[in-house]
């Protein structure tokens, strides 16, 4: 499998010169501009996540995918994640299939339960049904993707489906990843279902996450799946600047603001800025640095984990759009070529 590098975003509501927040609509336009640039500079992937917050207002990732599909040529596009527990898997599939009609072979989905329960009251669900809803809806999404004329029943529906088909149909099945923050149950669920695993990582060490990769592959093999079909992607916080000092200063400021503002919306406290800074080093999982450093650290993690895709969330905390776009340009033109050149050395001729 070829290693892929990319970016993901939940939207980033801009900050105005007086410190107040700008328009949430501008955050959506900024994401679309960033996706177009990522395509132009050769990045492999752009993921659009789902949050329902003023600071990160990208609440409808499949809508953004459809817009991005029409304005790009080659980059893979995906949700990152779709909060499936509180969404309708039939509508999710139809919206993804619509994007796949515009960009054949380039549309994927990451199905997750979400990092908070904020969507449950918003969409009138009981958060006590958190796991039951997710398991049932994931099963239906996979069945819809597998074929037509579906007969299916599950606990999240009051009526069974009989010979149902969701239209339009993609020309090839969509790649659906199971998104997880690292819970052992999700790791084993992905392996048992034969789904690629998408790890959303906020802390820990490369060695810690390598253990999750080993556990996934062991469970995958025990489930009887082809060994070479096991696939792991990693989503991390990170930022690329011309120098490591600049990257650390810029990202620490904006990431801390994002955590403080975002967690305040959820009624939680952000970690201390000094504690978070410790995650920026080689032993941590925040990938902020110069192009050379980021390439080196990604290759180091790849050697431990064997993942095939890594994506960075860079537009955080009201970061100015120009800084985000410059980071995308560096990621595509400076970091990615180094990674491919190094990995190509190990590829048999």
DSSP annotation string for 4-64: EEEEEES--PPBPTTS-B--HHHHHHHHHHHHHHHHHTT-SEEEE----SSSS----HHHH
Closest CA to 62 of 104, 98, 12, 96: 96
Q: Using CA atoms in the order 240, 202, 195, 51, what is the torsion angle rounded to 10 degrees?
A: -90
Task: Tell me the mean pLDDT in the region 279-307.
Answer: 97
Give residue 24's pLDDT: 98
Task: Tell me the mean pLDDT in the region 56-71.
Answer: 97
| Mean confidence (pLDDT) of the chain | 94
Backbone phi, psi, residue 304, to 5° = -85, -40
Q: How far is CA 250 from CA 29, 230, 321, in A?
A: 22, 36, 13
How far, in Å, CA of 149 to CA of 10, rounded? 35
pLDDT band at 118 (very low <50, low <70, confident <90, very high): confident
pLDDT band at 266 (very low <50, low <70, confident <90, very high): low
Q: How far is CA 64 from CA 29, 35, 46, 104, in A?
A: 10, 10, 11, 16
How far, in Å, CA of 24 to CA of 47, rounded? 19
Identify the domain containing residue 280 by its residue range. 4-345
Which of residues 144 and 256 earns the better pLDDT score?
Answer: 144
How far, in Å, CA of 31 to CA of 10, rounded? 9
pLDDT band at 58 (very low <50, low <70, confident <90, very high): very high
Q: Which two tokens stand for residue 34?
A: 């960033």
Bridge partners, 178 (sequence order):
111, 197
Q: Is the pLDDT of residue 278 over 90?
A: no
First and final CA of the chain: distance in angstroms?
Answer: 15
Q: Which two tokens stand for residue 312?
A: 């960075």
pLDDT band at 1 (very low <50, low <70, confident <90, very high): low
Q: Is the pLDDT of residue 41 over 80?
A: yes
Q: Return the percentage of the chain with pLDDT > 70, whole number.
A: 98
Task: Tell me the mean pLDDT in the region 318-328.
Answer: 98
Give residue 319's pLDDT: 97
Q: How many CB atoms lie within 10 A of CB 266?
A: 11
Give residue 87's pLDDT: 96
CB 177 within 8 A of CB 195: yes
Give residue 265's pLDDT: 73
Bridge partners, 215 (sequence order):
none
pLDDT tens digits for 144-156? 999 999 999 999 9
How far, in Å, CA of 8 to CA of 20, rounded? 24
Q: Is the pLDDT of residue 246 over 70?
A: yes
Q: How far is CA 168 from CA 72, 171, 259, in A?
A: 21, 9, 39
Burial class (CB within 10 angstroms; exposed 0-12, middle 13-18, buried 19+) of 304: middle
- Collect all residues with Cβ–Cβ distance below 8 Å to 220 and sequence separation of at least 6: 191, 194, 227, 229, 230
Q: Is the pLDDT of residue 29 over 80?
A: yes
Out of 100-109, 110-119, 236-245, which region has the weakest mean confidence (pLDDT)? 110-119
How far, in Å, CA of 129 to CA of 133, rounded? 6
Tell me, what CATH number does 53's domain have? 3.20.20.30
Q: Is the pLDDT of residue 348 over 70?
A: no
How far, in Å, CA of 288 to CA of 249, rounded? 9
How far, in Å, CA of 226 to CA of 298, rounded? 26
Burial class (CB within 10 angstroms; exposed 0-12, middle 13-18, buried 19+) of 40: middle
Q: Which two tokens stand for residue 219?
A: 């469970």
Q: Is the pLDDT of residue 27 over 90?
A: yes
Torsion sign (Cα): 196, 201, 204, 205: positive
278 three-class SS:
helix
Q: Domain tally for the chain?
A: 1
């Amino acid at each position: 499998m070829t290693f892929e590098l990319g970016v993901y975003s939940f939207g980033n509501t801009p900050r105005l010169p007086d410190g107040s927040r700008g328009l949430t609509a501008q955050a959506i336009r900024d994401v679309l501009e960033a996706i177009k640039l990522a395509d132009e500079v050769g990045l492999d992937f752009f993921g659009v996540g789902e949050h329902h917050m003023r600071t990160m207002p990208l609440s409808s990732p499949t809508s953004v995918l459809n817009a991005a599909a029409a304005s790009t040529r080659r980059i893979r596009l995906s949700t990152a994640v779709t909060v499936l527990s509180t969404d309708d898997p039939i509508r999710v599939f139809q919206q993804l299939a619509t994007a796949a009609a515009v960009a054949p072979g380039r549309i994927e989905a990451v199905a997750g339960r979400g990092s908070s329960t904020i969507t449950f009251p918003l969409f009138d669900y009981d958060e006590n049904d958190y796991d039951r809803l997710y398991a049932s809806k994931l099963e239906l999404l996979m069945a819809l993707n597998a074929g037509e004329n579906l007969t299916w029943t599950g606990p999240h529906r009051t009526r069974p489906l009989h010979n149902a088909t969701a239209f339009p149909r993609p020309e090839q099945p969509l790649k659906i990843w199971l998104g997880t923050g690292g819970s052992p149950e999700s790791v084993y669920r992905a392996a048992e279902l034969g789904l690629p695993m998408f790890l959303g990582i906020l802390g820990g060490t490369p060695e810690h996450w390598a253990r999750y990769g080993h556990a996934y592959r062991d469970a995958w093999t025990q489930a009887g799946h082809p060994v070479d079909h096991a696939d792991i992607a990693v989503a991390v916080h990170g930022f690329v600047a011309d120098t490591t000092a600049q990257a650390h200063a810029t990202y620490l400021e904006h990431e801390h603001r994002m955590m403080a503002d975002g967690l305040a919306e959820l009624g939680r406290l952000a970690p201390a800025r000094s504690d978070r800074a410790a995650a920026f080093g080689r032993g941590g999982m925040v990938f902020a640095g110069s192009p050379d450093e980021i390439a080196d650290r990604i290759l180091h993690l790849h050697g431990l984990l064997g993942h095939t895709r890594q994506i960075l969330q860079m537009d955080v905390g009201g970061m100015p759009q120009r800084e985000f776009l410059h980071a995308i340009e560096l990621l595509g033109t400076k970091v990615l070529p180094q990674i491919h050149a190094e990995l190509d050395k190990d590829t048999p001729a």
